With several copies, the nearest count.
Chain A
Amino acid sequence: MKKIINQPDHVVDEMLDGLAFAYDSIVKRIPDTTVIARHLKADKRVGLVSGGGSGHEPSHAGFVGKGMLSAAVAGQVFTSPTPDQILEGIKAADEGQGVFLIVKNYTGDVMNFDMAKELAELEDIDVDFIVVDDDIAVEDSTFTAGRRGVAGTVFMHKILGAAADSGATLEEIKALSERVNANVYSIGLALSPATNPEVGKPGFELDGDEIEFGIGIHGEPGYSRETLKPSKELAQEFVSKLKKEIDWNPEDRFALLVNGMGATPLMEQFVFTNDLKALLEGEEQLNLAFKKVGDYMTAIDMAGLSLTLLKIEEDSWIDYLNYPVDVIGW
């Protein structure tokens, strides 16, 4: 393992301190917690809290700030944060109008956020939540823990953040979140595995010319392992997979996110985006009303990328996506 760290089990703590130091104009770390919160509370708005295991930087602390999240709670690397920490995040976010939790669909995250919600309710804070499950690589059936939450979560942060900043109530945010979740679809691939510093060796193995489609953001296995293909063909595979799921028509409006997994150069992300252009705008004639390319929901040092499409149901979603924010990572 070749990493710029000190002790592996201090990584999360030191990372949070480094982040809070570097961006002290935007965020602060709540002392003795793993919570990164924005400085100033907005004015009687619904608080928005996200979080999850560390290793997905800039998620989630990178989206804390004006117009987006109120607080983010970090767990150990690839491990859900614990209920007591999430409770601290909820308290930091609370402005008396209730707090909304954005949770990715992993058993651990769901259970820990759920316990935190129970704890917060004991302290008379209204809490509601959405469990984002955008990863179409996983079959959605009663025989699995359901679809995983991946990069689509970033769109959730952005849209709910703008809505909260614009004064939406807890109930309105809950309703909006369910509609966004019903319309967001992601699919990813890996060229090389991530190495969790606390584990010290790669989470899986890929041969020199192998890639894996449908990988999760913690190195969960995907649906097929193949030899590396040109970017165009990778894009084609993603688009056909998504098309089967979404069943779109020409002129349908979408927001697009091409997300790097941590070690994929922007160069490759833009080449891939160019291939998506030909397929989505060209062949499929979709209307891509919002686009974003870069590292937003990473898996430490995994090489690979994911594609997220959000079907736009309302003009306001585009406005929310374009809503100005003051955060580290958007």
Chain B
Amino acid sequence: MSTTEKWISWISQFTDQIIEHKADLNQLDSAIGDGDHGSNMDRGVKAVKEKIDQGDYEELTDLFKDIGMSLVSKVGGASGPLYGSAFISMAKASKETDDPSLLLEAGLDGITKRGKADPGEKTMVDVWHPVVDSLKKGTLAQSDIDEALESTKDMKATKGRASYLGDRSIGHIDPGAQSSAYLFSTLLEAGVLDD
């Protein structure tokens, strides 16, 4: 399997997860947001799938750019520009490297530049940040992802729509953190990190 194929297999597994869990993500978003995170992501990953099914990718850069642009133009809401910026940033970085940890670090960078969230604000960053740390140490395991995801439960949201709830946001898992957890579980499963 070429590297590109592994990344494509990742994205297609991620797509399946999102479609399968659309209602769950909406449910999580209903508790602390506006109930559409699943629908938003579902629209996005379907567009991504349609796009990359047509393509024939030699270069990671083209793949990530198409993913990023599809997400940006289909997801909408807060998560669209954030996931989109992550992949566009990964596309840029892929001109220099194909190391998954560096690529995903660039992705995180794209998210924080766009959304200006720090860790601890109860957003997807609370999954991305520790995952990228573990990746860089070469130790990423499913348990790290689970732990990062769980950690959002006790946080009080201070960014995004959930911040309007103040203390009432505590006790719920962040929907964007959940979709990011699917992203990284499937990263492990797709064998992107194996070689």
A interface with B by C-beta (< 8 Å) = 53, 75-85, 106-108, 111-112, 114-115, 138-139, 142-145, 148, 196, 198-199, 203, 216, 218-221
Which candidate, B3-11, B28-36, B53-61, is the interface stretch facing chain A? B28-36
Q: Does A112 lie within 8 Å of B80, measured CB to CB?
A: yes
Say yes or no for B100: interface residue by CB 8 A criterion. Answer: no
A189 to chain B, nearest CB (A): 15
> Within residues 155 to 194 of chain B, which ones have a CB less than 8 A from any CB in chain A?
158-161, 163-166, 168
Is B107 in the interface zone, CB < 8 Å from A?
no
- Among residues of A, the one whose C-beta sits closest to the C-beta of B80 is A82
* Residues in A neighbouring B78, C-beta threshold 8 A: 80, 106-108, 111
B interface, CB within 8 angstroms of A: 26, 30, 34-36, 39-40, 43, 72-82, 84-85, 114-115, 158-161, 163-166, 168
Residue of B nearest to A218 (CB): B34
Known: A83-B72, A108-B77. Contact between A221 and B165, CB under 8 A?
yes
Q: Pull 16 A–B residue pairs with CB atoms less than 8 Å apart, ordered by A.
A: A75-B76, A78-B34, A79-B77, A80-B78, A82-B75, A84-B73, A85-B73, A107-B115, A108-B78, A108-B79, A108-B161, A111-B115, A115-B114, A138-B164, A142-B158, A219-B34
| Smallest Cβ-Cβ distance to B115: which chain A residue | A111
Contacting residue for A82 out of B72, B115, B158, CB 8 A: B72
Q: Which residues of B contact A216 (CB under 8 A)?
A: 164
Separation of A115 and B164 alpha carbons in the complex (Å): 24
Which residues on the A side are within 8 Å of B165 (C-beta)? 221
- A80 touching B77, Cβ below 8 Å: yes
Kindly provide the distance from the CB of A52 to the nearest chain B CB, expressed in whole angstroms.
10
Q: Are B164 and A143 in contact (CB under 8 A)?
A: no
Pairwise interchain contact A203-B34, C-beta atoms closer than 8 A: yes
